[in-house]
Amino acid sequence: AGIPDGNYRLRLDATDQCGRAATPQARDVVIDNSAPIAVITSPPSCFYMEGQVEIRGTAADANLDGWALYYTGGDVHGWVVINSSPTPVINGLLGRWNTVGLRPCAYTLRLVVTDRSVLDCNGALRNQAEYLVSVNLGSCDGYDADHDGDVDLFDFRFFEDAFTGPR
């Protein structure tokens, strides 16, 4: 089943074939098999926005190495960093995304959180978690008939009433 997460002290005692003992060695280690927490709580998926956008959520771990917030979409190919930090954020501001000058289009926000644990004795492999949310840049005025900031079935009702007449 494995060893539970926690702080441990390993001690090595060795004796060769002739009975000579080596000086005991001790090392402190941290067992961390828990994935970090990565969540974007705002903006919500499929939200229409423009200008300066506050991105909120959680990026945390008991042994946090760091986190990074990215975007891609529109004319961008690959991930562009919005913000990054080695400090945890819990239900707070992850970054402000300046969308001025970006083409109105669908975009994806990506939060990647990494901890300090090393997997399989390979320093390049770490516990990671990521969270993705798709959003839309630009105005949805042509489709948001009830002007509540999103396009949903209530907007279809306005269209239906305009097309067929009130019920």
**pLDDT tens digits, 91-108:** 999 999 999 988 888 899
* Of residues 60, 19, 13, the one with CA closest to residue 38: 60
Q: How many residues does the chain have?
A: 167
Q: What is the pLDDT at residue 83?
A: 98
Mean pLDDT of the chain: 83
**pLDDT tens digits, 106-144:** 899 999 999 887 665 566 667 889 999 999 887 644 555
Give mean pLDDT, residues 163-167. 59
C-alpha dihedral sign at 150, 155, 148, 138: positive
Give mean pLDDT, residues 31-48. 87
Decide: 46 and 150 in contact? Cβ < 8 Å.
Answer: yes
